[in-house]
Structure 1
Amino acid sequence: MDLFSTAPVGQPLAARMRPASLDEYAGQQHLLARGKPLREALEQGALHSMIFWGPPGVGKTTLARLLAQVSDAHFETLSAVLSGVKEIRHAVEVAKQQAAQYRRRTILFVDEVHRFNKSQQDAFLPYVEDGTLIFIGATTENPSFELNNALLSRARVYVLKSLDDEALGGLAQRALTSAKGLGDRRLSLPDDALALLLAAADGDGRRLLNLLENAADLAEDGGVLDAELFQSLLGDQRRRFDKGGEAFYDQISALHKSVRGSNPDGALYWFARMIDGGCDALYIARRVVRMASEDIGNADPRALSLCLDAWDVQERLGSPEGELAIAQAIVYLACAPKSNAVYMGYKAALADVRQNGSREVPLHLRNAPTKLMKNLGYGDEYRYAHDEPEAYAAGEDYFPEELEPRRYYEPVPRGLELKIRDKLQHLADLDRSSPRQRRPRS
């Protein structure tokens, strides 16, 4: 059916409001704004196989359809929930016919592609490889875990984000004024009701349009979709967590500071508050990994691995198993010995790099894979540490010639860093006593 034709009677608002052009598409400006590589490729017809990874209701299917329209490609679609190898083969035959009879490319869109097993994913590969199909897969799951490497290597992954309030607000306004939407109903939406609608949509455009349609069904033509109407529709489903406002940042700050302050009970309280309010557990998992490096560091290197494992559990199992794993990691961090030595050392090193510019690598530290490089002195006087006493080249210099050696990393006297500190002090003593010391550290 043509995108501009009259919608079938009874078609849901979300279906009627599918955009007819890229300019009508809501959100994803990091990919589709003018001048962005994906937008340029599409407008030039330079299509390639791709994976759309993002939460529900952000326009993955809609974008795939628009790509076919913009590029004048035949569009075939499969659902991984309902399809198998038989349906894949049929789509391949259709693509071959389109190419032979009409010299037309075919986009094969596979929704929920992560639900295909390895053999089903492998069935695409020859036809993606030889150009029979332009493959577009949509998934809400991390492609690194759910898709095989062979398919990932042949498709570019694009991350679609939850729709922000500006995109959602524009979508609501178009739905209320468009002829294919609710324009003939002459409904109005006050600011306080819009705020409730945006919060309830939680970045999901489909959810926003469904809620708006439900509210419109209860209103008279020319009426007002007020906050009271939305409250009655939402009931207990309405989020009690302002994920984009001050409360969001205050609570993640409170969680971080409770961990840093070695208070597992306070950390658990703020974690529970955020989860109960509707915060994405994967966001918290990412922040917890940051805490492990920033506040525990090498005082207990196991902390980072535990946090990554918790993140992995959340991605693989979801709620509630994943949230319990994150809670375990949070408690471990709160109880672990604390060190910000790596964090501070990295910041100091980065400041030096930005201040001193691009210094040349000293000749003795350069690799010399060719005869020319060897003749130019690459690798001369390099000391192989394993051949030295204690496997340490005492007095060796690893900084650019124009930059005085300095110490960024200062281990704290806690946890494993206590032993690291003693080790580095011993190596410093060897440097000072070495007759081969190039330069003293500042």
Structure 2
Amino acid sequence: MNKPLAERLRPRSLDDYLSQQHLVGPDAALRKQIKNDIIPSMIFWGPPGVGKTTLANIIANESGRPFFTLSAISSGVKDVREVIEKAKQSEGLFTTKNPILFIDEIHRFSKSQQDSLLGAVEKGWVTLIGATTENPSFEVIPALLSRSQVYVLNSFSKDDLIALLERAMKEDELLQKKKIKLSEIEALLRLSGGDARKMLNIFELLVTSEETDSVEITNEMVLKKVQQNTVLYDKTGEQHYDIISAFIKSIRGSDPNAAVYWLARMIEGGEDVKFIARRLLILASEDIGNANPTALIMANNTFQAVSTIGYPESKIILSQCCIYLATSPKSNASYMAINEAQALVKKTGNLPVPLSIRNAPTKLMKDLGYGEDYKYAHSHEGNFAEAEFLPKEISNTTLFKPGNNQRELAQREFLKKRWKNKYGY
């Protein structure tokens, strides 16, 4: 009984699996695949503690397949080849179904390590299930990604977490010996950040640290106990998302001092340099954008540089970039524009492209009016000809709203001169 609470409560079947109903609910696609014993190679993408490893185990159990596991943190190419060989030897011993190879934190595998998996996946020696907290489009090689289904796992909802606490008190043998009262759970839920494993670890700490048989959980008690026992930084998930959030918000808030502090916290914790640099890349476009277009160039060059150099020298480059971004003018106009555009597309559907700007490669298309009355901008004064480009159903819709900074105010004046009052600039 020395296993942690999260392990003791790990579900063994789909019916016991609390969350991810979009994947394993009664009519969900993944559940149907599992029930029909159609198990493709797949990548589970989601934050820590949402049940990626558990779901992989359940798939193996319910499909009756041998299950092999590797951790990308501690395994090399040799380990990969050894486990693939074991999987090949096991095939046919217990079942005619090919074994499942589960790789936790697959994003930490190098290209050569991922390449060593390709042959086994292609030949069907193993069905690969990889788990990652990072976007697989960036971290998994294209050849492997193209042979895998990607499933997104979401953070636990408040109701999921409460249900998990109630299950723990009801079913766990150790917790059953205590009389537990959940008077307040807001702090416990807030500190977990949707990470069920983290919440159960904290919950077990709270209960077992009390010497009496009766334990009352309050917000004050939770904060006091956790502050006494929390770690500085855990790149596998404990404070991972809190620290990166503080880092991003400090840069967005134009505070280079706080930004460098949180950067140092991540560096001292051994955070992946590419993870930090990628967040800077996103921020350069989302929070600065055209207020300073050079920010994106700076961030991209930083990503390329740290990917080549690594630690310890990368800390200097990361520091330079985060200070540059923190002290840059800010605008989220591009971010807001694409969000509004996507919302408009979902609302209005597939509106027809105006005939004047349709491509007309055939005579029939030309006869139908495709491309007719199109005004070629470069044939007009100032390389501009006022013409309609939006579908007529949403004519005059303004999606880009320039921010209040020097560059975007200049963009506003440019658009105002071109379009007069059309878009309200």
Q: Provide TM-score, normalisation by structure 2.
A: 0.69
Change (3 A) 1:372 1:66: same
Alignment correspondent of 1:224: 215
Question: Take 1:196 and 1:346, find their aligned partners in 2: how far apart are those partners?
Answer: 35
1:151 counterpart = 2:144: yes
Cα drift, residue 366 of structure 1:
1.0
Question: Take 2:203 and 2:321, find their aligned partners in 1: how far apart are those partners?
Answer: 35
Cα drift, residue 376 of structure 1:
2.9
User: 8 Å contact 1:268–1:330 — kept in the other structure?
Assistant: no
- 1:26-70 CA-partner distances (Å, limit 9, x unpaired): 433443333333233333333221112333333221110001122
Cα drift, residue 95 of structure 1:
5.5
Letter in structure 1 aligned against 2:149? R
Question: Take 2:202 and 2:45, find their aligned partners in 1: how far apart are those partners?
Answer: 24
Letter in structure 2 aligned against 1:147? V
Alignment correspondent of 1:62: 54
1:27 counterpart = 2:19: yes
Letter in structure 1 aligned against 2:50? V
2:215 aligned counterpart, secondary structure? coil
1:328 counterpart = 2:323: yes
User: 8 Å contact 1:314–1:321 — kept in the other structure?
Assistant: no
Question: Take 2:301 and 2:392, find their aligned partners in 1: how far apart are those partners?
Answer: 42
Alignment correspondent of 1:128: 121
Alignment correspondent of 2:196: 205
Change (3 A) 1:424 1:20: closer
Alignment correspondent of 2:407: 416
User: 8 Å contact 2:33–2:39 — kept in the other structure?
Assistant: yes
Change (3 A) 1:327 1:166: farther
Cα drift, residue 135 of structure 1:
0.8
Alignment correspondent of 2:268: none
Change (3 A) 1:355 1:193: closer
Cα drift, residue 154 of structure 1:
1.4
Query: How many aligned residue pairs are there?
Result: 395
Change (3 A) 1:85 1:414: closer
Q: Which of 100, 116, 136 is residue 107 of structure 1 equivalent to?
A: 100
Letter in structure 2 aligned against 1:300? N
Query: Where in structure 1 are there 5+ consecutive unaligned residues?
Result: 1-8, 241-247, 277-281, 430-439
More displaced, 339-348 or 409-418? 339-348
Q: Provide TM-score, normalisation by structure 1.
A: 0.67
Question: Take 2:217 and 2:361, find their aligned partners in 1: how far apart are those partners?
Answer: 73
Question: Take 1:343 and 1:208, find their aligned partners in 2: how far apart are those partners?
Answer: 33
Letter in structure 1 aligned against 2:114? Q
Within a 5 Å distance, the mapping from 1:64-213 to structure 2 comes to: 64-80=56-72, 81-83=74-76, 84-94=79-89, 96-97=91-92, 102-178=95-171, 181-182=173-174, 185-192=176-183, 194-195=185-186, 197-213=188-204
User: 8 Å contact 2:91–2:97 — kept in the other structure?
Assistant: no
Cα drift, residue 398 of structure 1:
2.6
Letter in structure 2 aligned against 1:28? Q
Cα drift, residue 125 of structure 1:
1.8
Alignment correspondent of 1:49: 41
User: 8 Å contact 2:182–2:216 — kept in the other structure?
Assistant: no
2:102 aligned counterpart, secondary structure? strand
Question: Take 1:163 and 1:348, find their aligned partners in 2: how far apart are those partners?
Answer: 28
1:376 counterpart = 2:368: yes
1:36 counterpart = 2:28: yes
- 1:255-277 CA-partner distances (Å, limit 9, x unpaired): 69994xxxx45x9669989x99x
User: 8 Å contact 2:42–2:129 — kept in the other structure?
Assistant: yes
Q: Which of 385, 393, 396 is residue 394 of structure 1 equivalent to?
A: 385
Question: Take 2:395 and 2:151, find their aligned partners in 1: how far apart are those partners?
Answer: 43
1:103 aligned counterpart, secondary structure? coil
- 1:82-103 CA-partner distances (Å, limit 9, x unpaired): 35243243144136435xx732
- Bigger radius of gyration among the two: 1
Letter in structure 2 aligned against 1:79? S
Change (3 A) 1:119 1:407: closer
Question: Take 2:203 and 2:216, find their aligned partners in 1: how far apart are those partners?
Answer: 9
Change (3 A) 1:348 1:146: closer
Letter in structure 2 aligned against 1:68? A
Cα drift, residue 122 of structure 1:
1.5
Cα drift, residue 111 of structure 1:
1.9
Question: Take 1:239 and 1:339, find their aligned partners in 2: how far apart are those partners?
Answer: 35
Question: Take 2:363 and 2:399, find their aligned partners in 1: how far apart are those partners?
Answer: 36
- 1:110-134 CA-partner distances (Å, limit 9, x unpaired): 1232333222212222332343322
Query: Where in structure 2 are there 5+ consecutive unaligned residues?
Result: 233-241, 266-274
1:189 aligned counterpart, secondary structure? strand
Change (3 A) 1:373 1:114: same
- 1:366-389 CA-partner distances (Å, limit 9, x unpaired): 123445434433234444445x25
1:236 counterpart = 2:228: yes
Letter in structure 1 aligned against 2:407? L
1:45 aligned counterpart, secondary structure? coil
1:302 counterpart = 2:294: yes
Question: Take 2:397 and 2:212, find their aligned partners in 1: how far apart are those partners?
Answer: 74
More displaced, 225-234 or 10-19? 225-234
Question: Take 2:367 and 2:161, find their aligned partners in 1: how far apart are those partners?
Answer: 64
Question: Take 1:196 and 1:371, find their aligned partners in 2: how far apart are those partners?
Answer: 69
Alignment correspondent of 1:17: 9
Letter in structure 2 aligned against 1:57? G
% identity of equivalent residues: 37
Cα drift, residue 405 of structure 1:
5.7
- 1:406-430 CA-partner distances (Å, limit 9, x unpaired): 776575785234554554466559x
Question: Take 1:289 and 1:403, find their aligned partners in 2: how far apart are those partners?
Answer: 30
User: 8 Å contact 1:42–1:67 — kept in the other structure?
Assistant: yes
- 1:342-376 CA-partner distances (Å, limit 9, x unpaired): 67877887898789776532323112344543443
- The alignment yields a C-alpha RMSD, in angstroms, of 5.0
Change (3 A) 1:370 1:126: farther
Change (3 A) 1:367 1:416: same
Cα drift, residue 19 of structure 1:
1.0
